[in-house]
Structure 1
Amino acid sequence: MIWLVAFLSCIGLICAETPFNHNVHNQKVIGGHNAPRNMWKWQVSLQYDSYNDGSFYHLCGGSIIDSFNIMTAAHCILSMNAGSYRVVVGEHNLYEYDGSEQFIRVERITVHPYWNGDLAKGNDIAILRLAQPVYANGYVAIAELPVPGQMLPNGFVCYITGWGLMDYGGSVPAILQEAAIPVVEHSICSQPNWWGSLALKSMVCAGGDGIISGCQGDSGGPLNCFTDGAWRVHGVVSYGPAGMCNQLYKPTVFTRVSFFEDWIYSVSLLLPP
């Protein structure tokens, strides 16, 4: 299951809650609804085998950025042992096998070199190299990425997708969820009554209306925005508020993809070992 890491105050420091819980699985976007089948073809379910016994469970979201590479959040990486992970592409209902899915093992994990486990410092991004390529079966697609350096205007409506919490401690649907969520530009998100200094220019804020948000279970998944004539992945779910996820003035925060594209391409263009 994915967990959106939530910030807590720790005697003047910022720390993160444990990024997963073995007792809760497959939750959804707050304020969302079932996504149309075969709509978000680049959406990935990143799955983890915590006991190395072949029992994989949904841990995080991700996006297909080419046939061999998946983009996700660095805080989703609980172990650098690539053999503990697999991705499922072409997925819609986590509880049912529809024949559209591809189950592919992870071969190599590359975490951003400046990621230090502190979400407040940013760099919450990782690339997973697959052991075999995703093949075109009509249910998958490579994500389009934004123009390097692009920042979206305040109020620009995007879509968050994932299998995250519907409410804090809420129900656990199996079907991929989607929700329209407006961007909150940096000059607003960085104000003291919003996220303040925790909102960096290398991040995208979206939501904060107290109704729609990402939550535990959406980490690593995409922020999908229609720009320059195509749906593009502008963000990777990174963090949100502790406790109730859909808090007023505390939008979901994403790693801004356009800030990291040079690094993304430098990693994804590496040849397999």
Structure 2
Amino acid sequence: MREVLLTFLLIASTSAFDFSCGDPVYKPDLNENSNNVVPFSWPWQVSLQAKRGISYSHMCGGALIDPTWILTAGKCINEGMKYRVVLGKYDLTLTEGSEQYIEPVKMISHPMFNPKCITCGFDLALLKLSWPVVFTDKIRLTCLPAAGEELPDNYTCVVTGWGKLNAKGPKPRKMQQALLPVVEHDICSRSDWWATNVMDTMICVGGYSKTACEGDPGSPLNCFGSDGRWYVNGVGSFTGSYPCNTARKPTVYTRISAFNSWINDVSPSSSIILPDLHFCASSKL
């Protein structure tokens, strides 16, 4: 009886912790001159790994939005491959003791997504995990923005992942970050920017001297809300055939607030959307 009671108390004590989205235990360093990540300061960032031969390797990023659901890019999903989701990671080359390895049982791309036309939009997918994650100080949820929410021009967000920092450099073993400004759609769709390649269901970030680079598809665009929580306002979609950090060719993210209904339909158990969020007119983190 005592063991049963202790188990019940443990579950009850962790329940409130589990669903506190967008509030990392280890606070990120928001120095815009540094790409270094405070270990585990983005605890919803996951590594989506594909099996090649007998081993797995990092392919895409993703964000934990529910105990059993991962948000990533549609381009990251190939039905013929075997995947695992790795949570609680900082250094991809080390066993850190905080990891959880969970295989997805469902991989659902948006029905309008066309892998042969990434710029056509709808580059979004949901992965259902085989079992719920066990929440720790290094594994937590991010929040989803309110439906229709659009970030103002020059709003500073943080891109995270294990992608290249420059075109000629290697992929890092440790998670990296970059503070990047949002570029409003009217600018990003100009002929000398991305022109008609960007839709209003996308978010452009960077494009002046720094962007997210190769290896970042599916990784979250983390934006700080006026309520003091972090939100996944986008997932990495494309940078085109241009080298990393090309001027006027910002990284393009799928805008999550354009797909709240679809996310709710696919993962009705999710209760992480906070509808009363308002982003400030500008943000200098």
Short-chain TM bin: 0.7 to 0.9
Cα separation, 2, equivalents of 1:144 and 1:234: 9
Matched, 1:50 2:52: yes
CA RMSD, 1 decimal: 1.5
Query: 1:169 Cα deviation (Å)?
Result: 3.2
Q: Which is bigger in relative contact order (C-alpha 8 A, separation at least 6)?
A: 1
Instruction: Report what 2:36 is aligned to.
Output: 34
TM alignment of 1:117-128, pairs within 5 A: 117=115, 118-128=117-127
Cα separation, 2, equivalents of 1:156 and 1:166: 21
Query: 1:199 Cα deviation (Å)?
Result: 1.0
Instruction: Report what 1:20 is aligned to.
Output: none
Contact 2:242 2:249 in 1 (8 A): no
Cα separation, 2, equivalents of 1:234 and 1:197: 21
Contact 2:48 2:62 in 1 (8 A): yes
Instruction: Report what 1:102 is aligned to.
Output: 100
CA-to-partner distance for each residue in 1:36-67, whole Å, 9 max, x for gaps? 1121110000000033x3x1100000000100
Which residue identity is paired with 1:266? D
Instruction: Report what 2:276 is aligned to.
Output: none
CA-to-partner distance for each residue in 1:90-122, whole Å, 9 max, x for gaps? 110001111111111111110100001111210
Q: Specify which of 215, 218, 239 is matched with residue 217 of structure 1.
A: 215
Contact 2:158 2:177 in 1 (8 A): yes
CA-to-partner distance for each residue in 1:212-250, whole Å, 9 max, x for gaps? 211111000000001232110000000013141111111
Matched, 1:59 2:86: no
Which residue identity is paired with 2:45? Q
Cα separation, 2, equivalents of 1:150 and 1:269: 20
Query: 1:164 Cα deviation (Å)?
Result: 0.2
Cα separation, 1, equivalents of 2:101 and 2:80: 18
CA-to-partner distance for each residue in 1:112-137, whole Å, 9 max, x for gaps? 00001111210000000111111112
Instruction: Report what 1:161 is aligned to.
Output: 160
CA-to-partner distance for each residue in 1:123-152, whole Å, 9 max, x for gaps? 000000111111112211111011110110
Task: List alignment gaps of at least 5 residues for structure 1.
Answer: 1-30
Cα separation, 2, equivalents of 1:76 and 1:249: 25
Identity of aligned residues (%): 41
CA-to-partner distance for each residue in 1:65-88, whole Å, 9 max, x for gaps? 1000100000011x2147x00011
TM alignment of 1:69-148, pairs within 5 A: 69-77=69-77, 79-81=78-80, 84-117=82-115, 118-148=117-147
CA-to-partner distance for each residue in 1:174-212, whole Å, 9 max, x for gaps? 1100110000000111111111111100000000012x2
Aligned residues: 236
Contact 1:119 1:238 in 2 (8 A): yes
CA-to-partner distance for each residue in 1:7-59, whole Å, 9 max, x for gaps? xxxxxxxxxxxxxxxxxxxxxxxx861211121110000000033x3x11000
Instruction: Report what 1:23 is aligned to.
Output: none
Cα separation, 2, equivalents of 1:262 and 1:81: 28
Instruction: Report what 2:169 is aligned to.
Output: 170
Instruction: Report what 1:250 is aligned to.
Output: 249
Cα separation, 1, equivalents of 2:92 and 2:150: 33
Task: List alignment gaps of at least 5 residues for structure 2.
Answer: 1-32, 271-285
The structure with the greater share of residues assigned to helix is: 2
Larger radius of gyration: 2
Cα separation, 1, equivalents of 2:104 and 2:66: 14
When residues 250 and 243 of structure 1 are mapped into structure 2, their CA distance, relative to the original with a 3 A threshold, is: closer
Contact 1:168 1:243 in 2 (8 A): no
Question: Secondary structure of the equivalent of 1:262?
Answer: helix
Moved over 4 A (4+): none
Which residue identity is paired with 2:73? A
Instruction: Report what 1:27 is aligned to.
Output: none
Cα separation, 1, equivalents of 2:111 and 2:254: 15
Cα separation, 2, equivalents of 1:67 and 1:234: 19
